[in-house]
């Protein structure tokens, strides 16, 4: 069974630009979550989607947004990039998305903002 895939794997942008990251969950998984990982802040929750509905959102500015499609694939968008947005962005998928939802991570997208 294929794992979670994320594209692109690496991205270099300049301040003020916007970026869209893509995530394809494990086949059959309907829950997709996004996390930001930085050396200073560690792993921080961005948002979670299940059946195209956002069920929870972390403490990030409105520049960070996401969506989920009917095939469970998800995208996240960051507008007006800032230097501090440089991070590893991780997508995780889970089966049912309930309280006991095991989440499996993709390889991540490394975003560098210059």
Partner 1 sequence: QKEVEQNSGPLSVPEGAIASLNCTYSDRGSQSFFWYRQYSGKSPELIMSIYSNGDKEDGRFTAQLNKASQYVSLLIRDSQPSDSATYLCAVGRDYKLSFGAGTTVTVRA
Q: Which of 23, 26, 108, 111 binds partner 1 (CB under 8 A)?
A: 108
User: Which residues in the 34-93 window bind partner 1 by CB under 8 A?
Assistant: 35, 42-45, 48, 50, 55-56, 58, 88, 90, 92
H/E element, 73: none
- In the block, tokens 């095991």 appear at 102
Q: Is 15 in the site for partner 1 (CB under 8 A)?
A: no
E strand segments, 8-108: 10-13, 19-24, 31-38, 42-50, 53-57, 64-68, 74-78, 87-94, 104-105
Q: Is 5 in the site for partner 1 (CB under 8 A)?
A: no
22-30, 60-68, 75-83, 104-112 -> range binding partner 1 (CB under 8 A)? 104-112
């Amino acid at each position: 069974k294929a794992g979670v895939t994320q594209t692109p794997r690496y991205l270099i942008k300049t301040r003020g630009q916007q970026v869209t990251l893509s995530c394809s969950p494990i086949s059959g998984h309907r829950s997709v979550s996004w996390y930001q990982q930085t050396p200073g802040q560690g792993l921080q929750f961005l948002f979670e989607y299940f059946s195209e509905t956002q069920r929870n959102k972390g403490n990030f500015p409105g520049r960070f947004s996401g969506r989920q499609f009917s095939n469970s694939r998800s995208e996240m968008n960051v507008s007006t990039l800032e230097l501090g947005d440089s991070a590893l962005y991780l997508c995780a998928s889970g089966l049912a998305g309930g309280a006991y939802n095991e989440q499996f991570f993709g390889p991540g997208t490394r975003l560098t903002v210059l």
